Amino acid sequence: MSVRVARAAWARDWGAGCRRGVSNFPLPPSGAVNVAELLRDATAAEEGPREAAARRRPPGQCSVLLFPGQGSQVVGMGRGLLGYPRVRELYAAARSVLGYDLLELSLHGPQEALDRTVHCQPAVFVASLAAVEKLHHLQPAVIENCVAAAGFSVGEFAALVFAGAMEFSEGLRAVKIRAEAMQEASEAVPSGMLSVLGQPQSKFTFACLEAREHCKTLGIENPVCEVASYLFPDCRVISGHLEALRFLRKNSSKYHFRRTKMLPVSGGFHTRLMEPALEPLAQVLKSVAVKEPLVAVHSNVDGNRYRHPKHIRKLLAQQVVSPVKWEQTMHAVYGRRKGTGFPETFEVGPGKQLGSILKSCNLQAWRSYGHVEVLEDPEHLAPALQEGG
């Protein structure tokens, strides 16, 4: 059994995990295997370190998967996935874990319900892994030759499940607790997130400082306003008290901001406003069986790849109060010597935001980008895989 063949059957692993965790889910078929263990054994026995195996494969024959995060959700997501093997089983397993019909909410909304943190994080997580099922069906070589994955915020959980670091049911349970805790924290303080497209002379740090001072004049104690995501050069997401974000929008020209836009999220994520969510998330992560990822997965906290299970648990908890260093992650994933080719990249999940960000971070890497459609996907209207360049 080669590493390539073992990775191609990755979906059986989430199936076995769900069946163990959900009493009314059917037993696995005779002969089903734990692909994570199989891949781990095959890697050690046949190919040695994964890095060496990846170096032997030409970059153009490798692939990278990117998993989107909260804010990418849209009513109708999942409709373009239901015709592919195991997707309905995936949503059935999710219903058992969550206690409500996630597929119905994803397909029919309403949007305001789907946008709630408690719902959209599980919805994006499951839709992303369902998109991997579709990609595996249409282009199995992409899954077989995957060498790295990264996920934006909650997307990091989906990336880790795909990479075999945790089982689907346990990963979804952790996402559920995370979403509930972040929803509760966001309701405690009127807060939000503001996407800011700047320019080289933009003064992000100074702008946040003045926004905090403005909040103090309004009687807000210990105001929060800080960079919560580094997207691409001169583009940031600023998170904090709503009054601070309103101040920034009103005074955007002073700080050389070209464009600002409020994001469809319910709180000031990736700041200390989310500190109440730390303990619930840390506790649930202690109960999750975390393994070493089978492909490189990069952390939002520092952009570096995870090394061992304790590292994963620590940084997944830290992530909710730390800025998402996505620009740094893209440099870590795609940095290479001049003249070296780039892997194929596929965004798996709703939206194409990560593709747009990749284009601004690394145009050459983006030329090999594709998106797996999760909305309506009739053959006569659009290809299943939409190329970015």
Determine the 3-state secondary structure of 48 from DSSP: coil
Instruction: Compute the distance between CA of residue 256 and CA of residue 199 in angstroms, rounded to an integer.
Output: 7
As given in the structure block, the two tokens for residue 22 are 């959900």
Find out whether 346 and 99 touch, Cβ atoms under 8 Å: no
Rg of the chain over all Cα atoms, to the nearest angstrom: 21
Contacts of 344 (CB under 8 A, 6+ apart): 60, 62, 63, 64, 142, 368, 369, 370
- Report which of 192, 222, 211 is spatially closest to residue 251, judged by C-alpha positions: 211
Where are the extended beta strands (E) located within the chain?
63-67, 146-151, 191-197, 225-232, 235-241, 259-262, 296-298, 324-325, 344-348, 369-372, 385-387
Burial class (CB in 10 A: 0-12, 13-18, 19+), 179: buried
Peptide bond just before 110 cis, omega within 30 deg? yes
Enumerate the active-site residues: 153, 270
Determine the 3-state secondary structure of 26 from DSSP: coil
Q: Any idea what the Cα angle at residue 351 is, between residues 15 and 322, rounded to 5°?
A: 80
Instruction: Compute the distance between CA of residue 231 and CA of residue 359 in angstroms, rounded to an integer.
Output: 11
